[in-house]
Amino acid sequence: MTTTAQPTSLDEALIRIRSVLVELVKGVGERDLAFEHPDELVRELANAGFGRLRVPAEFGGFDVDLPTLFALLAEAGQADSNIPQIWRGHFTATEILRAETDQRVREYWLRKIGLGAVFGNAQSEPSAIVAEAIAAGALAAEWGATTTRVRTDANGDRFVSGTKFYSTGSRFADFIRAAVVDDVGNRGFVVIPARHPGVTHVDDWDGIGQRQTGSGTTLFDDVPVDEHGDIGRFKESLRGLDSFVQIVHLANLTGIARSIVTETVDIVRARTRTSLHAVTQQAAEDPEVLGVIGMLETRRLTAETLLRLAAERLEAAHATGTEADFARAYLDTSAAQVAMIDAVLDAATRAFDAGGSSAVRNSAHLDRHWRNARTLASHNPVVYKPRVIGDFLVNGVMPVPGYYRNRPSVTEVVSETEA
| 197 and 294 co-located in one domain | no
Q: How many CB atoms lie within 10 A of CB 200?
A: 13
| 248 and 218 co-located in one domain | no
The answer, yes or no, to whether residue 418 has pLDDT greater than 70, is no
- C-alpha distances in Å from residue 283, one per residue of 51, 263, 270: 43, 15, 9
The answer, yes or no, to whether residue 371 has pLDDT greater than 50, is yes
| 168 and 258 co-located in one domain | no
Q: How many whole angstroms separate alpha carbon 71 and alpha carbon 76?
A: 9
| 243 and 388 co-located in one domain | yes
Q: Are strands 217-224 and 187-193 parallel, antiparallel or unpaired?
A: unpaired
Pick the last residue of a domain from 165, 197, 232. Answer: 232
Which CATH number fits the domain that encloses residue 82? 1.10.540.10
| 140 and 214 co-located in one domain | yes
**Tens digit of each residue's pLDDT (9 = 90 or more) over 301-353:** 999 999 999 999 999 999 999 999 999 999 999 999 999 999 999 999 999 99
Structure confidence at residue 131 as a pLDDT band (50, 70, 90): confident
In our burial notation (b when 16+ CB lie closer than 10 A, e otherwise), range 339-367 reads ebbebbbbbbebbbbbbbeebeeeebbbb
Burial class (CB in 10 A: 0-12, 13-18, 19+), 326: buried
* 3 is a domain residue: no
| 246 and 142 co-located in one domain | no
* 4 is a domain residue: no
| 16 and 90 co-located in one domain | yes
| 131 and 87 co-located in one domain | no
Q: How many whole angstroms separate alpha carbon 118 and alpha carbon 93?
A: 10
Cβ pair 307, 70 in contact under 8 A: yes
Lowest mean pLDDT among 82-91, 150-159, 252-261, 275-284: 275-284
Q: How many whole angstroms separate alpha carbon 352 and alpha carbon 369?
A: 11
| 344 and 367 co-located in one domain | yes
Pick the last residue of a domain from 118, 150, 174. Answer: 118
pLDDT at residue 143 in the model: 67
Structure confidence at residue 278 as a pLDDT band (50, 70, 90): confident
* 62 is a domain residue: yes
| 159 and 252 co-located in one domain | no
| 108 and 136 co-located in one domain | no
386: helix, coil or strand?
helix
* 142 is a domain residue: yes
- C-alpha distances in Å from residue 212, one per residue of 22, 30, 168, 205: 18, 12, 9, 9
Which CATH number fits the domain that encloses residue 327? 1.20.140.10
Residue-wise DSSP of 100-143: -S-HHHHHHHHHHHHTT--EEEE----HHHHHHHHHTTSS---T
Phi/psi region, residue 156 (left: phi>0; alpha: psi -120 to 50; beta: rest), is left
Structure confidence at residue 153 as a pLDDT band (50, 70, 90): very high
Structure confidence at residue 276 as a pLDDT band (50, 70, 90): confident
Radius of gyration of the chain measured on its C-alpha atoms: 22
Q: What is the mean predicted confidence (pLDDT) over 208-220? A: 96
Pick the last residue of a domain from 190, 206, 232. Answer: 232
Residues 6 or more apart whose Cβ sits within 8 Å of residue 258 = 74, 77, 78, 300
Residues 6 or more apart whose Cβ sits within 8 Å of residue 314 = 66, 240, 243, 244, 247, 329, 333
* 5 is a domain residue: no
* 167 is a domain residue: yes
pLDDT at residue 412 in the model: 67
Residues 6 or more apart whose Cβ sits within 8 Å of residue 250 = 70, 303, 306, 307, 310, 333, 336, 337, 340
| 245 and 383 co-located in one domain | yes
pLDDT at residue 54 in the model: 98
Number of domains within the chain: 3
Which CATH number fits the domain that encloses residue 185? 2.40.110.10
Structure confidence at residue 415 as a pLDDT band (50, 70, 90): low
409: helix, coil or strand?
coil
User: What's this model's pTM, rounded to 2 decimal places?
Assistant: 0.95
* 412 is a domain residue: no
Range of the domain at 77: 10-118
* 96 is a domain residue: yes
